[in-house]
A and B are shown apart, each in its own frame.
Chain A
Amino acid sequence: MSMDYYREYILDHYRNPRNYGKLDHPDAHAEDNNPLCGDQLAIDLQVDDDHITEVRFQGRGCAISQAAASMLSEMIEGKTVEEVVQLGKDDVLDALGIPISPARTKCAFLSLRVLHRSLALAGLEKPTMDDEDDQ
C-alpha cells in the first residue's frame, strides 16, 4: 500500500519540479520550514490584474512535500487571486491522489501553508489558515 505514495507522477514532480526557482521582484513571497523534519519551502508570486501570472518555488524535502509544491504551482498559475485564496487541503489531496497518513500531513500541506502566508503577507488575503492546525 505504501507503493501508493510513490506513484510515477509523484516521483516525476519530485525529480523534475515545475516552476522551480525564484523571482527577482515577486509581488508576494513567503517561506517556512517544517521543524520536525527540516523540510524547507519558499514561494514567489507575480500578481498582475488580480491574476497569478508567475509562480516559483524553492525547497528541499521529501517526495510528498516537494511534489505537492510542484503540483500546487501548476494549479495556481493563471488563476485569479480570489480563486487561489479559496484553495484548501482537499485540493492538494486531490492533486496528490494518494492517501496521506497523519504523520505525513505536514509534508503534504507545507506548500499550501506557505502559499497562503505569501498572499497574507502581501495583503491579498486575510491570514485565515491556522499555521499550526494541519491535522
Chain B
Amino acid sequence: MSTSDSVTVTTMDHTKTNSAMRTAAEIRKDFPILARQVHGKPLIYLDSTSSSQKPEAVIEAMSTYYEMYHANVHRGVYEISEEATARMEKARVKVARFINAHRSKQVIFTRNTTESINLVAYSWGNTNISAGDLIVLTEMEHHSNLVPWQLLAQRTGARLEFVPVTDEGLLNLDVYEQLLQQQPKLVAFTHMSNVLGTINPVQEMIMHAHAVGAIALLDAAQSVPHMHVDVQALDIDFLCFSSHKMLGPTGIGVLYGKRDLLEAMPPFMGGGDMIRKVGLRESTWNDLPWKFEAGTPAIAEAVGLGVAVDYLNTLGMENVFKHEQDITAYALEQLQTIPGLTIYGPDVTKRGGVVSFTLADIHPHDLASILDQEMGVAIRAGHHCAQPLMERYSLAATARASFYVYTVREDIDALVQGLRKALQIFNL
C-alpha cells in the first residue's frame, strides 16, 4: 500500500477570513460557461442548487491530471501512479480541513450525497437498526434522505416518523422534541432545504438528539457549498455532501463520519482497494477511509474537488454566505413587485440562496420554458425531488431560482423581466 497516511488536520483555512470577496462580476470571468449564449442571449444561470458551474481552475486541474499524471492510485510503484495517489489524498486533506474534520481518514469519497446516505443506511443501518427502532426524519427532506431510510425500514422493520414543516417553511421543533422523547436510534435531516431555502437550527437539533442517545446524520448537500460548516463544532456523527454543487465536478461526493462509528461499520461495497487480505472464502478490510472505497475511485474528480475547495477558501466562506444573503434579499424584494407571485419559505434571515415561487395560474414548466427562450434564464421547475414537501403545500410543482458566488443583481433583473413577459404571454 503506497498511500499517504491519514493526516491529522491542524490548520483551519476558514479562520483566515478575507476582508472582502472579489465582486461577483469579477468572479463570473472565472467561469467559462457563463460567457456562452442560449437562444441568442447570454446564459443567466439560476440553478446552482441543482448543480453549480465550474471555474476554469477546476476544469484545468482535471485536464492536467489526464494529460500529465493519470494512473491508477494506491497500486503503482512508478512515478505517475505515486503522483496521482498523492494528489488524490491531498484533495482528501483539503476537504477535511474545509469541514474541520479531525482526521482526513474520516473523509470518504463516494459518488455523491445520495451514495453517502445510502452507505450509512446500509452499513451502519443494517448493523444498528432492528425491528421497532425509530428513525426520525423531516417533511422537507430531498428524496435522497427519505428513500434510503424507507428501504432500511423495509429491511429491518424500523419505524419512520417525520418532523412537520410549518406554513412559514420552518421545522416544527416542538414535534421534534416530542419525537426525541421516544428515543430514536437515528435522526437524519437537511441542513438547508433545497426547495424552501430554510436553514435549520442543526446545532441545537444535533445536541438534543445526542442527549437521548440518537445518532445524527446531516444532509449538507445545500450547506457545505454555501456556508462554513464545522463538523467538530456541530458534533455531527455523519455528514453528506456532493462536489458538483460546490464548484467541483460531478461523480464525487463525501461522507464524513466520526471515527469510532466508521471503524465499527462493515464495508458497503466489496472489491479492489477496500481489502487488506483476500482469500477465496473470506477477506479482511482495509483501513479507513479505503474500507469504504471499493474499486478505482474518481481520481480526476477528487483532484477537481480539491481545487474547488481551494477556490472557495480563497473567496472565504463567510464572504460567500454574505454575498448570497445580499442577492437573496434583493431577489425577494424584486420578486415581490410582480403581481400574482407567491414565494414559499421563510424570510431572508432564516434562508439561504434558494427561492421557490409560483406565478398566478402559469405552470412552473411554462415559466421555465418562457424564461429560457425569451431571456436565456435557466431556472428549475418541478418538485425538486421533494414530493412530500410539495404535497405539504398542496403544490404539484414550483419554479425555483438559486444563487451562488457568480450571481449578480443583473441576473435577478433578467429573471424579473422574464416573469413579466410570462404574464403578458399568458394575458395576465
Contact = CB atoms under 8 A, between A and B. Distances in A.
Interface of A: 1-3, 5-6, 11, 15, 36-40, 60-64, 66, 103-104, 107
B123 interface: no
Contacts of A1: 373
Contacts of A104: 365, 369
With a 10 A CB-CB cut-off, give which of B361, B383, B390, B396 has the most chain A CB atoms: B396
B214 interface: no
Contacts of A15: 361
B396 A60 contact: yes
B382 A38 contact: yes
Interface residues of B, number: 21
20 contacts: A2-B370, A2-B373, A2-B374, A2-B425, A5-B366, A5-B369, A6-B426, A15-B361, A37-B364, A37-B381, A37-B382, A37-B397, A38-B382, A38-B397, A40-B396, A61-B396, A62-B369, A66-B363, A104-B365, A107-B365
Nearest to A66: B363
Contact of A62 (B363, B373, B425): B363
Given A3-B425, A61-B365, A64-B365, 14 more contacts: A2-B370, A2-B373, A5-B366, A11-B426, A37-B381, A37-B382, A37-B383, A38-B383, A38-B396, A38-B397, A60-B396, A62-B366, A104-B369, A107-B365
Nearest to B390: A38
Contacts of A64: 365-366
Contacts of A66: 363
B425 A61 contact: no
Interface in B389-422: 390, 396-397
B67 to A, nearest CB: 34
A39 B364 CA distance: 11
A37 B365 contact: yes
Contacts, number: 53
Given A37-B397, A38-B387, A61-B396, A6 B365 contact: no
Interface of B: 361-366, 369-370, 372-374, 381-383, 387, 390, 396-397, 425-427
User: Which secondary structure dominates where chain A touches chain B?
Assistant: helix
A76 B224 CA distance: 53
A16 to B, nearest CB: 12
B378 to A, nearest CB: 12
Nearest to A104: B369
A43 B211 CA distance: 53
A15 B426 CA distance: 10
Contacts of B372: 2
Contacts of A2: 369-370, 372-374, 425
A68 B428 CA distance: 22
Contacts of B364: 37, 62
Nearest 10 interchain pairs by C-beta: A2-B373, A62-B365, A62-B363, A38-B383, A38-B396, A37-B382, A6-B425, A38-B397, A62-B366, A63-B366
A40 B387 CA distance: 13
Given A37-B383, A40-B396, A61 B363 contact: yes
Nearest to B398: A38
A108 to B, nearest CB: 12
B344 to A, nearest CB: 15
With a 10 A CB-CB cut-off, give which of B364, B369, B372, B383 has the most chain A CB atoms: B369
Contacts of B374: 2
B76 to A, nearest CB: 43
A63 B363 contact: yes
B363 to A, nearest CB: 4
A66 B369 CA distance: 15
Contacts of A6: 366, 370, 425-426
